[in-house]
Amino acid sequence: MGVLEKITSNQELRSWPGEIPLENLYTMGLAGERFFRGIKDEAKLLGTRCKTCDVTYLPPRIYCQGCFEKLVNWVDLPPQGKLETFTILNQDRAGRPYKTPRILGLVRIDRSEGALIHYIQGLEPQKIRIGMKLKAQFRSSSERKGSIQDIVGFVPA
Amino acid sequence: MDRRVAVIGIGTTGFRAASPEVSYREMIYEAAVKAYSDAGLAPDQIGSFIACSEDISEGTSIFDEYCPDQIGGARRPVHSVSGDGLHGIITAAMNIQTGLFETALVECHSKVSNCIDPVEIMNYALDPIYNRPLGEHPEFIAGLEMRRYLYESKAQPKDCAAVVQKNRAHALKNPWAAYPANLELEEIQDSPATFDPLREIDRAHHADGASVVILASADWVKKNRVKNPVWVKGMGWISEDPGLEMRPWGRSIATQKAAKMAYKQAGIRSPRSEIDFAEVDDTYSYKELQHLEDLWFFPLGGAAKAVRSGLTRSDGKFPVNVSGGCLGMGNAAEASGLQRVLEIVTQLRGEAGVRQLKRVRQAVAQSWRGIPTTSCAVAVLSKGVNS
Ligand SMILES: [Zn+2]
């Protein structure tokens, strides 16, 4: 077995750039269709419930990961919950600093085991506490398109 | 038939910030040549070849096709695993345990310096319907998790700074490490917050490198009188809830369960007293603390106390990431997991030179697959087949 001779001069280094236009469509599925229709049409959160495991899924699933049974029990959930954790974003995806930092929170939705991750609005960072009650703020019905962005963010309940 | 499995050869290029003078295949070839040389074997003595990689990071669809030749596996049984290096080790061990193969080789590498935009690759791992539309930097997830972990464990950001200080300092004694540094706690704490409470310096830098490990059955070890086998005594791997919304945020349940699985196989009842040192995932500083607790070495909050008191330093009673970890060596994707095995084997053989630990017989390696996953793997490695 050999050992490698290596290039020792920067001027001799060659590379070839490659790229592909990587685009995908992601269908929302049975559960996603119903969830986002609930948000778009009625500004409400829908979960699915497994009575056997005593678990309410949000985002909803049509099967239970615990007992592996089909889930048919849809429940309306209050668009509010407890802040489980949050982070203050000082930069965007390209690493450019935000003039005004953004705040993302994970809100554990009441009467479910699930949560939503969204912006926290109307609170100074130093006023935010884990455990505080927050409620979802939806866009107006004419602005809603059936996506997670139909929610503006969470505000104090 | 004795189907226990041992590591009998290791090879690595070491990790560096960039590697422009070689292609990824040449880099892997170098690590493979070293591993064959270490094991005293030739490629035709290997039964099964396993390569760990992720197409989108490699920039090549069906990357499996680009794995065989540089590890000596052309026209031989090869498959790739889209998992961490520890998943590769576990797969190789199970290949041997089937009785089909006496030996197996595992390869992992990182050529991340070739990626124009690794953040976009990480972002593409996020759920496309619930999380990606927000359009934020995917490391917000580490910010969320760090805050919850600190809240539940009552650890402080300065304890995370102590992890950075320790691991970067450990790397000073590791020639394979890309990011050794002598840092003051104050300058670490002054590092700007990116996704607060996460600071820029809490995150491991990327690195290039390739590593190869060769394993064999106990039958083969005995027959060939291998002098310094290191035994794979326990293995565990778990994937928890894929979604960000239904998982708990303070603990690594996948690590807890993978550790239980591995300890049960290894017959370990009291991890802290039966394990001499550990190499664990520290892609982000707080992850080391979290992982140590979820490996059952410390109660919740105990890892912060341990790093504060120096217990987990290379000269402490329970050294953690004496290699420098990802923070000190660099984050080399799948290869980081394999490197933990390399470090443990080097230490257990007594070949670690200036960073050699004294009187070590048994160690644990743990990996996490990174943002946004909850996939973890654990391996128990031991000097003696019965120790
Ligand atoms: Zn169920």
CB contact under 8 A, B133 and A115: no
In Å, the largest CA–CA distance within chain B is: 59
Q: Is A134 within the bounds of a domain?
A: yes
Distance CA B65, CA B104 (A): 18
Q: What is the pLDDT of residues B152-164, one digit of tens each?
A: 999 999 999 999 9
What are the boundaries of each domain within chain B? 5-116+208-223
In a domain, A34, yes or no: yes
A118 contacts B134? CB cut-off 8 A: yes
In a domain, A119, yes or no: yes
CATH code (residue A58) = 2.40.50.140
Could you tell me how far CA A111 lies from the centroid of its own chain? 19
Residue A1: per-residue pLDDT: 74
- A6-52 pLDDT, tens per residue? 888 988 899 999 998 889 999 999 999 999 999 999 999 999 999 99
- Cα separations in angstroms, A150 against A27, A46, A115, A119: 17, 14, 16, 12
Residue A4 lies in a domain: no
Interface test with B, best of A87, A116, A129 (most B CBs within 10 A): A87
Residue A9 lies in a domain: no
**B144 at the A interface (CB within 8 A)?**
yes
| Domain interval for residue A127 | 27-156
Number of folded domains in chain A?
Answer: 1
Residue at B244: amino acid letter: L
Class of domain B5-116+208-223: alpha beta
Residue B65 has pLDDT above 90, yes or no: yes
Residue B387 has pLDDT above 70, yes or no: no
pLDDT tens for B126-144 read 999 999 999 999 999 999 9
Number of other residues whose CB lies within 10 A of the CB of residue B384: 12
State ipTM. 0.96
CA of A58 from ligand 1 middle (Å) equals 14
Q: B22: which 2 tokens?
A: 């070689």
Q: Left if phi > 0, otherwise alpha if psi is -120 to 50, otherwise beta: which for B237?
A: beta
Does any domain span residue A19? no
Average pLDDT, rounded, for chain A: 96
3-state SS assignment for residue B31:
helix
Q: How big is chain B, counted in residues?
A: 387
Q: Which residues surround ligand 1, an ion (CB under 5 A)?
A: A 50, 52-53, 64, 66-67
Q: What is the pLDDT of residues B98-112, one digit of tens each?
A: 999 999 999 999 999
